[in-house]
């Protein structure tokens, strides 16, 4: 399936490794136990489809619909499987993963509601494709106001990925009381204008993510005021994004392993390989541990928020380390001559910027201090009141 060849530049410099790959159907499995046969087969099928559909949003939407029908929601007892699927897609192609992930997140958000919203009002069907638009910023924040029995939206939402390609979205808006509330909208609604702002991104070039203007757009409330941000699943969705980043880092690291198979590594090459393995293994353990916490009901409210900040931050740091080490270990060749590797590196650099870096670390520090009221764990007098998952050290 995969062959390796050496390319030698016309100037006779050191060879660079290039792959000639048809379909890459490898899975990324977060558990120590082997994946059950049917599940492994399904993930391989999806990985193959993602790698064949590299960079193709429509291929991503087809996979999103299929995955949405099959994959478990986070917290339902199989979170590890869900995040393994996202990591598998991320390793195969980050555009596809970026299309699938918010669709699954939107379905999970709606499944977490006590009473389902009346989505018939906005034409939702089994083939609806979803985005989640919750970013804030700009001078015209999205506002929601009641209009008789209904709600309408007015304002501008920034960072709306794939708004021109999707059928529906969950959007957050400010309500008159000053709270934030989530609404479902049809993206072809009258009064909704997807602004075609220039998209210069070299990574995720097909995932255009510009603003949408809303002019009295009919919307269906999803949950009560502030429910979206305070529900336990908010943190779980954020970790799902980190699973995609992790998959992307695995994809980059696979190029290192292929180099190792095609040339005798010197000490420096071995060191990069070992360091990348250390980082990826630690990130994988974190994701697996977080999945177990979510399924055990131990990642809710503050502990969920802490878990998400912790896992996202460490996975983002892993991505940065893998990108740096792969660059040092492989040199410019694959970045210049290998379209798949060059695209994956560019995709990952953009995608991981959804993490807020040092600002999220500061938020984690604040959350720890706010969450830990008593003694550190391990002291007999601290009893069991300290939340172990909130502050395990």
Contact set with ligand FAD (CB under 6 A): 102, 131-135, 137, 159-161, 204, 207, 209, 350, 353-354, 356, 359
Least distance between ligand FAD and beta carbon 137 (Å):
5
State both tokens at 224.
């009560």
The DSSP code for 141 is -
Q: Which is nearer to ligand FAD, 88 or 209 (CB)?
A: 209
Least CB distance to ligand FAD at residue 352 (A)? 9
DSSP one-letter code for 384: T
Rounded to a whole number of angstroms, the minimum distance from the CB of residue 357 to ligand FAD is 6
- In whole angstroms, the minimum distance from the beta carbon of 356 to ligand FAD comes to 5
Q: Report the C-alpha gap between 78 and 294 in whole angstroms.
A: 10
What is the C-alpha separation between 319 and 247, in angstroms, rounded?
A: 9
Residue with tokens 């702002």: 197
| Token pair in block for residue 26 | 């490898």
- Cβ nearer to ligand FAD, comparing 247 with 387: 247
Report the residue number, 159 or 337, with the smaller CB distance to ligand FAD.
Answer: 159
CA distances from 242 to 75, 187, 230, 232 (A): 16, 27, 20, 17
User: Could you tell me the CA-to-CA distances from 115 to 109, 181, 281 in Å, in that order?
Assistant: 12, 15, 40
Q: How far is the CB of 127 from ligand FAD (least distance, A)?
A: 20
Least CB distance to ligand FAD at residue 354 (A): 5
Work out how close the CB of 163 gets to ligand FAD at its nearest, in angstroms, rounded to a whole number: 8
CB 180 within 8 A of CB 205: no
**Helical spans, DSSP H, in 33-187:** 37-52, 57-70, 79-92, 94-111
Contact between 91 and 247 under an 8 Å Cβ cutoff? The reply is yes
Q: Which residue number, 189 or 209, has a Cβ lying nearer to ligand FAD? A: 209
CA dist 365 and 358 (Å) reads 10
CA 99 remoteness from chain centre: 9
Query: Which residue number, 43 or 252, has a Cβ lying nearer to ligand FAD?
Result: 252
- Taking the least distance from each CB to ligand FAD, the nearer of 132 and 316 is 132
Nearer to ligand FAD, 209 or 318 (CB): 209
Q: Which residue is associated with the tokens 């869900």? A: 82
């Amino acid at each position: 399936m995969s062959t390796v060849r050496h390319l030698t530049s016309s100037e006779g410099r050191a060879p660079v490794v290039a792959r000639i790959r048809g379909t890459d159907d490898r899975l990324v499995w977060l558990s120590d136990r082997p994946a059950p046969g049917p599940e492994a087969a399904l993930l391989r099928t999806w990985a193959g489809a993602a790698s064949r559909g590299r960079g193709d949003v429509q291929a991503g939407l087809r996979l999103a619909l299929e995955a949405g029908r099959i994959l478990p929601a986070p917290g339902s007892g199989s979170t590890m499987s869900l995040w393994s699927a996202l990591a598998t897609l991320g390793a195969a192609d980050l555009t596809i993963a970026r299309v699938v992930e918010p669709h699954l997140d939107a379905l999970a958000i709606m499944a977490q509601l006590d009473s389902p919203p009346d989505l018939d009002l906005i034409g939702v069907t089994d083939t609806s494709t979803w985005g989640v638009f919750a970013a804030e910023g700009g001078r015209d924040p999205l506002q929601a106001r009641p209009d008789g029995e209904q709600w309408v939206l007015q304002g501008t939402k920034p960072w709306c990925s794939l708004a021109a390609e999707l059928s529906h979205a969950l959007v957050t808006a400010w309500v008159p009381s000053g709270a934030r509330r989530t609404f479902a909208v049809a993206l072809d609604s009258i009064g909704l204008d997807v602004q075609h702002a220039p998209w210069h991104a070299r990574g995720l070039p097909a995932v255009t993510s510009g603003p949408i203007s809303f002019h009295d757009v009919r919307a269906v409330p999803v949950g009560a005021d502030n429910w979206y941000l305070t529900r336990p699943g908010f943190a779980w969705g954020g970790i799902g994004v980190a699973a995609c980043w992790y998959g992307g880092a695995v994809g980059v690291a696979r190029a290192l392993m292929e180099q190792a198979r095609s040339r005798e590594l010197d000490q420096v090459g071995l060191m990069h390989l070992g360091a990348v393995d250390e980082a990826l293994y630690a990130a994988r353990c974190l994701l697996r541990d977080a999945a177990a916490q979510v399924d055990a009901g131990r990642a809710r409210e503050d502990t969920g928020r802490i878990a998400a900040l912790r896992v996202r931050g460490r996975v983002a740091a892993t991505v940065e380390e893998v990108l740096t080490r792969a660059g040092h270990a492989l040199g410019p060749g694959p970045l210049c001559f290998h379209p798949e590797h060059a695209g994956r590196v560019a995709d990952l650099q953009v995608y991981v910027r959804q993490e807020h870096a040092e600002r999220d670390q500061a938020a984690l520090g604040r959350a720890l201090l706010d969450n830990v009221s008593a003694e550190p764990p391990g002291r007999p007098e601290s009893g069991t009141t300290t939340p172990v998952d909130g502050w395990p050290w």
